[in-house]
Amino acid sequence: MAHNIPADLKYTKDHEWAKVEGDNVIIGITDFAQSALGDIVFVELPEVGKTLNAHQSFGVVESIKSVSDLYSPISGTVVEVNSGLQDTPELCNAEPYGAAWMIKVKLSDKQEVNSLLSASDYQNFLSTL
């Protein structure tokens, strides 16, 4: 099954995406993740101001099938949270790369972005699953 993997984003093997915008990174879950989870019914996100380390859990996504931790691709401070997902968690299924972004983080180390997967690397990783 082909998954939507926008070329302008970076990815993790935990199926999060990251969009770099200057000193900030917008983070969400990939099309593969939402597809594997099924119908998402609840999203728990951190408070603005929380400091995250790369690979640290920053929240939870709950579907009718399972509960999955969300992992930050990079280290930094949460500067914005998509509070709309509390009322409409199903956006994660409909628009994983758009309206369903989860958090915006101010980077503490720009070099960490270099360790994330490109779209083609992520596509290759998915083909091994």
Say what the pTM is: 0.96
Task: Provide the token pair at 79.
Answer: 């500067």
List the domains of the chain with CATH numbers.
Answer: 10-110 (2.40.50.100)
**Strand order across the beta sheet in which 16-21 lies:** 10-11, 16-21, 24-29, 103-107, 76-81, 51-52
Give CA–CA dist 67/37, Å, rounded: 8
pLDDT tens per residue across all 129 residues of the chain:
578 999 999 999 999 999 999 999 999 999 999 999 999 999 999 999 999 999 999 999 999 999 999 999 999 999 999 999 999 999 999 999 999 999 999 999 999 999 999 999 999 999 999
Length of the chain (residues)? 129
Neighbours of 37 (CB within 10 A): 21
